[in-house]
Amino acid sequence: MKNVLRILQIGLIVWMISACHRPASIHSILDQVIQSGELRVGTTGDYQPYSHLRPNGQHEGIDIELAKDLAHSLGVKLILVPTSWPTLMADLKAGKYHIGMSGISKKLSRQAQGLFSQAYTVSGKTPIARCEDQDKFNSLADIDEEKVKVIVNPGGTNEVFARQYISKAKLIMHPENTTIFQAIIEGEADVMITDEEEVLLQSAQSPLLCPCMPGKTFNQFEKAYLLPRDLIWKAYVDEWLQQRQLEGKVDTIFQAFLGKVSD
């Protein structure tokens, strides 16, 4: 028995010595980003005020500005990687991006496949309609009527919410977020239920669209950044985000995109 223990001890010592002399390996996405000199950020480009792809090919939005800051904090180049709400999780699993930044809502089905950073804002679902119909849709009961056409973009929390709470009204799936509000204006649909900040922005941009429940939401949820299952990488992102919140930079960026809307 003593001989067996002695052999095990020698084996452990040999393993420890060899481990100490092994070349350092990249064991975290944080290391990968720094060594490659590139930060790949997955973004949909179709969700104002967080991520909007302009006709000139340039991105703008709250999360685009914060993505630039995150890359700068690491001293690396920012690479914006196109993704979509239906393919968001598949693209994460495939390693197409290091972090998802596109006004992404926290939900358990996403948490089960990846990780979230700490939250940086709280939002809620609320309806938007043509201003002439603004007073018709002040509750879920008003919306969930057979004669009502509810438009929804597929693959995200808007679809999840609509399928959970809308059973009588007609659901119209509209795959292009960039034209979904124009579809309401043109009468293809009566109402859309989406995040409060998007309602504020779209109603400010178009005199034909109005929030049906100003200042009120059906629920509340947090928005955060979507990450692969890498705790070292998450720790860095959380620390960066907390510092920017304490410095007031996150609030400043939100104010730049939503300040005039909420005044």
Question: Residue 34: is its pLDDT beyond 60?
Answer: yes
Is 233:30 a contact under the CB 8 Å cutoff?
Answer: yes
Is 26:82 a contact under the CB 8 Å cutoff?
Answer: no
* CATH classification number, 29-121+222-262, choose in 3.30.70.260, 3.40.50.1000, 3.30.70.100, 3.40.190.10: 3.40.190.10
| Secondary-structure class of domain 125-211 per CATH | alpha beta
Rounded alpha-carbon distances, angstroms, from residue 245 to 60, 119, 198: 20, 10, 22
Is 63:50 a contact under the CB 8 Å cutoff?
Answer: yes
Q: How many CA atoms lie within 13 A of 79 on its CB side?
A: 11
Residue of 25 and 225 predicted with greater confidence: 225
Of 233, 195, 242, 247, give the one whose Cα is nearest residue 98: 233
Specify which residues 170 forms β-bridges with. Answer: 149
Question: Residue 105: is its pLDDT beyond 90?
Answer: yes
Backbone angles phi, psi at 46, to 5 degrees: -130, 20
- Of the listed ranges 20-24, 76-80, 172-176, 205-209, the one predicted with least confidence: 20-24
What's the confidence (pLDDT) of residue 10? 44
User: Mean pLDDT across the stretch 192-199?
Assistant: 96
CB atoms within 10 A of CB 135: 11
Question: Which residues make up the CATH 3.40.190.10 domain(s) of the chain?
Answer: 29-121+222-262, 125-211
